[in-house]
Amino acid sequence: MSYSAYDLLWLLLPLAAASGWLIARYDSRRQAARSFDLPSAYFKGLNFLLNEQPDKAIEIFIQVLEVNSETVETHLALGNLFRRRGEVERAIRIHQNLIARPTLDREQRTYALLELGQDYFKAGLFDRAENLFLELAEVRAHSEQALRLLLSIYQQEKEWEKAIQTSRKLARESGKPMDDVIAQYYCELAEQALAKKNFRSARDSLRQALSTDPSCVRASIVLGDVEAEEGRYREAIHAWRRVEEQDAHYFGEVAHRIADAYRRLNDDQGLYQFFSAALERHAAVSLTLTFADIIRQREGVKAAEKFVVESLRRQPNVHGLHRLLELNMEEAQGTAKTDLMLLKGIIEELRQQHQGYACEQCGFKGRSLHWLCPSCSRWNSIKPVLEQ
Ligand SMILES: [Zn+2]
């Protein structure tokens, strides 16, 4: 573990100021009788840091702290530095030592507690972190930050009920609505219930999600899934169709589900009518591809090819081209088929670059749809690439 010059300078500046090091130098003769020389102890500590002996350094810093209460800031900074470097146990030692000091004023103490809570969180000691943040959430000056940190614990631990309560408090405290995030927490509860086949509880959570945030796409998708699980395909279609009004970007997520539900109902006419009408409303690529399959089943390969060519003229895109090649290959033979396969291979690579999902906030790209971005930890920021 090496400490960069920048890190050390960063530590040195406040301590030099706090300890009045420069003045002390000029007055060194008069100060010669001091029982404990603060700056020299600090430099001894820094020397240990430089020589990669952080535990000895901490020992020195803790000693100095007992002598001088002006250095609290520096200790907070040092603890923070250790935590950021992933040396959580050292950060905990520094912060615990600070808190144990009886001379710490109220503000310094709360600040040190907030730091210690973050150490515990990083160390995976969620219960301890939670207790600290719960205490700090009651302190007005720190409640917003404490609630945010509590929320990250509940999210990590998948304690969605607590996450909902905490978000409501946080929204009140900060004056910023969190309805879209709270709706996601209800969806998480619903998915947990659905996995246990507890359909009633899943429905309840989804109803809550939609009343909290009527534009919650995920709630409509999962509600449709619940209905379909119970064999209620008409109701499932009804739920999935809602996605179109909520955010048409996600229409592709339900297109194949809707098509499948119509097929299970043996309602070919309903299937055809729904998609031909939907295509009039949205020229979405995902809808075009689903409709091409429907035409292929109803009227055969030639009709499907004709439909794809027409839609490609209106809206050229690599996915349509790929589907056209697939349809062509079904009828081709001999060298024609080999040529088409070669072409399809080239298109395939292009197609890969234009599918999946991307986060609008941080640019994260993934193959499956995450409602919570794994990279920047935001909810509702990931959209399908296909329709962009
Ligand atoms: Zn992101």
C-alpha 381 to ligand 1 mean position (Å): 6
Kindly indicate the confidence band of residue 66, based on its pLDDT and cuts at 50, 70 and 90: low
Dist. CA 367 → ligand 1 center (Å): 14
pLDDT, average across residues 256-280: 94
Task: With H, G, I as helix, E, B as strand and everything else as coil, classify residue 24.
Answer: helix
Average pLDDT over residues 125-131: 96
Task: Enter the tokens of residue 384.
Answer: 């399908």
Helix %, strand %, coil % for the chain, to 5? 75, 5, 20
How many Cα atoms sit within 13 Å of 340 on the Cβ side? 17
Distance (angstroms) between ligand 1 centre and the Cα of 147 equals: 22
DSSP class per residue in 111-147: HHHHHHHHHHHHTT-HHHHHHHHHHHTTSGGGHHHHH
How many whole angstroms from 291 Cα to the centroid of ligand 1?
A: 32
Q: CA-to-CA distance for 356 and 383, rounded, in angstroms?
A: 9
Q: In the prediction, which pLDDT does 263 show?
A: 94
pLDDT score for 76: 86
What is the average per-residue pLDDT within 169-179? 95
For residue 357, the CA-to-ligand 1 centroid distance in Å is 11
CA 386 from chain centre, in angstroms, equals 21
Output the CA 363–ligand 1 centroid distance in Å: 6
Give the model's pLDDT for residue 19.
46
CB 237 within 8 A of CB 204: no
Q: What is the pLDDT of residues 180-214, one digit of tens each?
A: 999 999 999 999 999 999 999 999 999 999 999 99
Cα distance between residue 51 and residue 135, in whole Å: 39
Q: Give the Å distance between the CA of 378 and the centre of ligand 1.
A: 6
CA 246 to ligand 1 center in whole angstroms: 21
pLDDT in tens, 322-366: 999 999 998 888 888 888 889 988 888 888 888 889 999 999 999
Calculate how far, in angstroms, residue 264's C-alpha sits from the geometric centre of ligand 1.
37
In angstroms, the CA 141 to CA 123 distance is 25
pLDDT digits (tens, 9 = 90+) for 83-99: 988 889 989 998 998 88
pLDDT band (50, 70, 90) for residue 293: very high
Residue 177 C-alpha to ligand 1 middle, in angstroms?
Answer: 20
pLDDT (mean) for 242-265: 93
Q: Collect all residues with Cβ–Cβ distance below 8 Å to 152 and sequence separation of at least 6.
A: 121, 377
pLDDT number for residue 163? 98
Token digits of residue 163: 């996450």
Q: Is the pLDDT of residue 166 over 80?
A: yes
Mean pLDDT of 51-80: 76
Q: Which two tokens stand for residue 10?
A: 């960063």
In the prediction, which pLDDT does 223 show?
98
Task: Give strand pairing partners of 366.
Answer: 357
- Using 50, 70 and 90 to split pLDDT, how confident is the model at 77? confident
Distance from the alpha carbon of residue 370 to the mean position of ligand 1, in angstroms? 10
> What is the token pair recorded at 216?
């919650």
Cα 168 to ligand 1 centre (Å): 23
Distance 384 CA to ligand 1 centre (A): 13
The model's pLDDT over 220-253, given as tens digits with 9 standing for 90+, comes to 999 999 999 999 999 999 999 999 999 988 988 9
Distance between Cα 2 and ligand 1 center (Å): 31
**Rounded distance from Cα 195 to ligand 1 centre (Å):** 26
Is the Cβ–Cβ distance between 253 and 369 less than 8 Å? yes
Answer yes or no: is pLDDT of 7 > 70.
no
pLDDT for residue 34 = 45
Tell me the CA–centroid distance for residue 365 and ligand 1, in Å.
Answer: 9
d(CA 254, CA 245): 13
